[in-house]
Structures are given as C-alpha cells and as structure tokens.
Amino acid sequence: MTDWLLWQIVDSAFPTGGFAHSWGLESAWQHGEVRDARALRRFVRQTIVQTGRGVMPLVTAAHRAPDRLGALDALADAFLTNVVANRASRVQGRTLAATARRVWPSPATEDVERCALAGCAHVAPVTGAALAAIGVPLEAAERLVLFIAARGVLSSAVRLGLVGSYEAQRLTHDCADEADDVWRTCRGLHAGDIAQTTPVIDLWQAAHGRLYSRLFQS
C-alpha cells in the first residue's frame, strides 16, 4: 500500500494546508528577488537544500523514534526563529496530525495528534511521526518531504503568475537529480544537525507578514 499512500499524500486534495503557503516566494517576488524563471530555478534549488538541512533531520528523527516527538517539537520551535515561518509550521503540523488521525484512525495516529497538540505541533517532526504511524517507510518519507518543498514553491509560482504550468512542470523534472543529491547528503543527519543554509529565504519569509497585499498566508 506504500505507493497508494504516497500518491494520496502528495495529491492536492490532501488537506494539509500546504497550498496556502508560498515558502517565502511571494515575499521574494514582491521585493524583486525573483522575477523570472532563472531566478525561480535558483530559489527552488535553495529551498530543496534548506529543506534537506533544516527539515529532513527532524522528519527522520521523529520517524525513527515517534516517542521523541515532544522533544523534537521543542527543538523545531527553537530553530524557527522568525514568526511567520514558526506560525505556518504550527498550522501545517496541527492540520497534518488531525488529518492523519481522521483518515487513518489508529492508536498510533491518535498518539501523534495528542502529543502534537500538547506542544507546538511543528510540521517537520509531526510529519515524521505521522508517516511512521501510517506505515510509510523512512526513505519514502524523506524523499516525500523534499518533493513537497519543491512542489510547494513551484505551485505558488504558477498562482503568482511567475511561470506557466508547463514551465513549472519542467522545472519540477529538472530538480529531480538535485533533490536526490540532497537526500543522499542529508539522510544521515541527526536532529541536532539542523541548519539554516539560506538565511535570505528566512528573511523573505519573515517579511511576508508586512506585505501590502498577499495571496498566501506565508
């Protein structure tokens, strides 16, 4: 059932709230940082690397040890220092925990939601614990996180009018090898290895709340 689970999770109908967020792209676009497909390609690449270094280790740790979800959640909260990204992570984490419990009801998914709601419910550790609870293998979970990061940025780019759907799909295909390289590099990292590799993306995310007009929540 792994393939069916993965297809369901990456489908746009899956209610995790990911499509309400631009991963900092909307702010970068309004500030003139991303104006064309070439700049967008660079932004996506940086997002994948940052996800591998700052998100994947928490996903991996929570998948391997769901009982550590509380401690990993606290670590994620300390790591996400900008208010916009922190708030977005909490919203997505709570939504994912509730969705997993309702779609795949079991003691394991109930434990994930209960533990998440007892803390901050940040999306990275909740993702690891929730995917472990429903039986998604670790390697698939790690790759899934990288794909969703790239897909999130490119989906936002289409809705912002930066590129068309065909161009976005071509960029998604072009990023596959880089995503694999990031996965191979970051799969052995521990939760304590999390790092901010592209601080400027963090700055764009933090500035999102001060935009005059916004299409996305963050």
Lowest pLDDT segment from 7-16, 67-76, 177-186: 7-16
- 5-25 average pLDDT score: 86
**Cα–Cα distance, 194 to 152 (Å, whole number):** 21
Residue 76's nearest CA partner among 103, 95, 107, 55 is: 55
For 20-210, CATH gives 1.10.4190.10
pLDDT of residue 20: 82
Whether 183 contacts 143, CB under 8 Å: yes
Residue 158 scores a pLDDT above 90:
yes
pLDDT of residue 1: 60
**Residue 212 vs residue 141, higher pLDDT:** 141
pLDDT of residue 194: 96
pLDDT of residue 13: 85
- Quote the pTM value: 0.94
Residue 80 scores a pLDDT above 90:
yes
Residue 17 scores a pLDDT above 80:
no
Q: Where are the domains of the chain?
A: 20-210
> Residue 26: CB partners within 8 Å, gap ≥ 6?
156, 160, 208, 211, 214, 215, 216
